[in-house]
Amino acid sequence: MHASTTLTRTAGLSPLPSLDRVDGSAPALLDGHGEVLDHATLRRRVDELAAELRTGDRRLVHVQLRPTVDDIVGYLAILEAGHVALLLPEGRAAEAVRRAWPADLSLADGAVAFLHDEPEPRHVLHPDLALLLSTSGSTGSPKLVRLSHANLTSNAHGIAAALGLTPRDRGVTSLPLYYCYGLSVLHSHLAVGASVALTSGSVLDDDFWRVVDSGVSTLAVVPHMVELMETTGVLERPHPQLRLITQAGGRMAEDRVRRTAQLGERHGWGLSVMYGQSEATARIAIQDPTSTAASPATVGRPIPGAEVRIDRDVPESDGVSGEIVVSGPGVMLGYAQHADDLALGRMVTGLRTGDLGVFDGGLLRIVGRRSGFVKVLGLRIDLARVESALEGEGLVVCVTGDDTGLRVAVEPVPGERVDDTASRVRRLAGHAAGVGVGHIRVAVQPLARLGNGKVDRAGCDALVRATDPEECADSRQRIDAPGIAVRVAAVLCEVLGVPDVDLDRSFVALGGDSLTHVQASSRLTALLGDLPTDWHHRPVRSLVEVADDDARPARNRRWQRVEVSVVLRAIAAIIICGSHAELFRVLGGAHTLMAVAGYSTAMFGLSAVGVVARWRAGARLLVGVAVPTVVTALIGMAYGRYGWGNVFMVNWATGNISTRGRNELWFVDVLVLAVLVVTALLSWPAISRRWNDDPWRVAFALLVVGLGSRFIILSFEHDGPMRGVLPTVFWLFAAGMALAVARTRRRTELTLALALLGTLGYFPDNTARNLVIAGGIIALALLRSVPVPRVLVPVVTVLAAASLHIYLVQFHVLTLVSRTLTDHGLVRTVAGLVVGIVVWRLTATPIARLQDLLVPLRRTSPTSERTIP
């Protein structure tokens, strides 16, 4: 569709300063052929071309911006004329952008040309929109960053102020101009009347250093360039005018930062480490070079105009660090993923960077990425820290991974055999991550890099994956399998009993809870491969996109990883039913299930934000538990097995806990009361705030209280039935809660140690029973998922999903089979399991409908979804 967008602003739209603020005779651009454009001439040429380009309509322009005078004049004139510049990356990525975003005009080799003959522009463009950039992580994809005129000018002046740029400074085009960092060098220098030397050479070229030595005072680099300069020793020799090297575009190892800064001190230039994103126009924080050597792990203070805060309310927070959120005039208008987005104004005010950081003495320190954490063997691993440890050994690496293990791409080490390098990397990475070398895959080859010199993390990950023939075969199968989103939606519709699924909502927002999680987890894992730890709180679309982008199936097609809580439910159902049927004598399954119940409650219902939302989630869970319990108890009342205390799930208050039949359903009584007590406690404003800030501290405190109650009461009351009431069982529920929200290894270990203390002498005359409970808690703490033969996954899933119903009906079934058929333990066990599964199958959908009727799910918008850290 074509539409006209009339120009309403005609001057001052480019980062060029007005001539009354700078010396017009001072150099602005210097090319490699001796041509020097002063600021007055640059302004004149830009204004003349801009006048020619003002056609009355604003248009989208494809800009191939190379470091030449003509290209830069053309680019600045496009902005000055009020058009929107879409900077094209290099190579085939440029063709992908052209296809995704057809334009009206193009700039190439300094010449502007029309791309079509139609009089109307192809797009409606918002008046504030000035520039479109591909993000460094998605070069060549249709996703673009929308930047305004104010973004460009404010960020240019903020950078200039933070770096202390003056008209006497001269930068150099050491980075591609389509890259936001390289473009910011041009903008910031021109904005204050300084100059830029134009060259397409690299730091490995002698011609490049001849340009630098001809008067360049500031040099912008990315970590790979520092590695190359260190290898060649080019910084060991003097560069007369060089006063400052700025580094951004990725994290540099602390030793290299310190070493480079000290080298600069000897030669008279400083090193300024910086932090930025395309979404913040370019720079967010800049380190004063006088602080770099003393604080090599930090990236400085926010540039003038930028405000940075640390949001600790994210799952990856360790209570100190949090997600870096940026606001200010440099924050983009928003993303563009469709042509209609070009007409939008500001959609973003606080930029969530996805990076984790902390302020250290007023200086910002990046500690990792929100997406840079994996959990292997129950251990939460920060990939950035593993990478840093390897870089500290002088290795050039890129560390990626998922919950199946780590993947390390490492560049060959001169003089060292490839096998020796791989073996050394596995050992070092295993030590840094705390996992065995069997969970680390290494590929020794040059790292994949983007056109701007930054490490291509997705490319490096693919390089490592390519060394595994089985994974390559599985990846091809997944890529070739069509309709993954449709199949995921079909699974969720069936599991949740809903007619349709909004993929922009999470599993929890769609109505998923601990009762439906089992089936959803297993079936989605079969489709998508291993799921992230917090998959149930992520938009379903993001899970599908990860599967489409990464093609991550299970590594061995004969095995599938299943969440450990699901496996524990299935095992507990078998040992509870088998023990009651006298097939074997393995006790402790119900108490293990109590820890699993606490874990699931914290992961689902208690993760909702706000008192009302938690009560709503708790009520839905209680309906799902209470309905089958009440029906079971009423049937039992008909032949005198149960009483009203069982029907209302308050047998603990009726004095019947020592009556065998009446106390058979103690697990449900304790579970219902535990959910009510915890939800009520979290309704107290002071505790609610603490839970939102740091849920582990609250859960750990409840564990301490529960253990105190357990030890005090059982020191006086030794009867077995007393281990089936809330005061002596609550510690297990609280332990599960604490393990669910323990986001660090230290917290997990501390919780596990305290929980294992509770198992000591819990059943004083039954050590085996205590060991069963301890084993379940250890598995819940240290394993996120376990491999299960693929043919057994449906059996495990069904047993886990039906575990509550198996627990409830087994007593009826075992008695009936014994009276009418046989006392054989195997037959009774199988009968109890099968009937429980059948009852679950028959009642799952009606109970889900009853939940929706009694406690309608509050449908939140995708943007309002938030979870506790």
pLDDT in tens, 15-74: 888 888 899 999 999 987 778 999 999 999 999 999 988 877 899 999 999 999 999 999
Look up the CATH number of the domain holding residue 492: 1.10.1200.10
pLDDT in tens, 523-570: 777 677 667 766 776 677 666 655 544 444 444 457 778 888 889 999
Cα–Cα distance measured from residue 703 to residue 705, given in angstroms and rounded to the nearest whole number: 5
Identify whether residues 79 and 197 lie together within a single domain: yes
* Weakest mean pLDDT among 44-58, 129-143, 235-249, 545-559: 545-559
* Structural domain total, the chain: 4
Up-side HSE of residue 819: CA atoms within 13 Å toward CB? 6
Identify whether residues 118 and 183 lie together within a single domain: yes
Identify whether residues 654 and 613 lie together within a single domain: yes
Identify whether residues 490 and 621 lie together within a single domain: no
pLDDT band at residue 470 using 50, 70 and 90 as cut-offs: very low
Identify whether residues 415 and 328 lie together within a single domain: no
Asked if the model's pLDDT at residue 738 lies above 90, the reply is: yes
Helix, strand and coil percent figures for the chain, each rounded to 5:
50, 15, 35
Identify whether residues 132 and 151 lie together within a single domain: yes
Tell me which of 794, 822, 843 is where a domain ends: 794
Identify whether residues 340 and 302 lie together within a single domain: yes
* pTM for the model: 0.51
Identify whether residues 353 and 402 lie together within a single domain: no
Look up the CATH number of the domain holding residue 413: 3.30.300.30
pLDDT in tens, 834-859: 999 999 888 888 887 887 787 765 44
* Weakest mean pLDDT among 718-727, 762-771, 818-827: 718-727
Mean pLDDT over each residue of the chain, to the nearest integer = 83
Identify whether residues 100 and 190 lie together within a single domain: yes
Q: Establish if 568 belongs to a structural domain.
A: no
**Long-range Cβ contacts of 766-770 (<8 Å, 24+ apart):** 766/587, 768/586, 768/587, 768/588, 769/587, 769/588, 770/588
Q: Which pLDDT does position 376 carry in this prediction?
A: 64
pLDDT in tens, 490-536: 777 777 766 666 666 677 767 676 667 777 776 777 677 667 766 77
Asked if the model's pLDDT at residue 437 lies above 60, the reply is: yes
Asked if the model's pLDDT at residue 365 lies above 60, the reply is: yes
* Weakest mean pLDDT among 71-85, 442-456, 554-568, 666-680: 554-568
Q: Which pLDDT does position 452 carry in this prediction?
A: 67
Tell me which of 442, 467, 492 is where a domain ends: 467
Q: Tell me, rounded to whole angstroms, the distance of Cα 17 from its chain centroid.
A: 40
Q: Establish if 782 belongs to a structural domain.
A: yes
Identify whether residues 342 and 227 lie together within a single domain: yes
Instruction: Mention every residue, 6+ apart, whose C-beta is less than 8 A from residue 798.
Output: 837
Strand partners of residue 379:
376
Backbone angles phi, psi at 333, to 5 degrees: -70, -35
Q: Which amino acid is at 351?
A: L
Tell me which of 794, 818, 839 is where a domain ends: 794
Residue 493 and residue 501 in contact, taking contact as beta carbons nearer than 8 Å: yes
The whole domain housing 454 covers: 372-467
Give the mean pLDDT of 428-432: 85
Q: Which pLDDT does position 555 carry in this prediction?
A: 41
Q: Give the number of other Cβ atoms within 10 Å of residue 788's Cβ.
A: 20
Q: Establish if 418 belongs to a structural domain.
A: yes
Asked if the model's pLDDT at residue 139 lies above 70, the reply is: no
Q: Which amino acid is at 832?
A: G
Percentage of the chain lying above the pLDDT 70 cut: 85
Cα–Cα distance measured from residue 291 to residue 272, given in angstroms and rounded to the nearest whole number: 9
pLDDT band at residue 867 using 50, 70 and 90 as cut-offs: very low
Q: Which pLDDT does position 749 carry in this prediction?
A: 92
Identify whether residues 257 and 405 lie together within a single domain: no
Q: How many residues does the chain have?
A: 869
Better-predicted residue by pLDDT, 596 or 377: 596
3-class DSSP assignment, residue 359 = strand
Query: How many helices and strands, by DSSP H and E, does the chain display?
Result: 29, 27
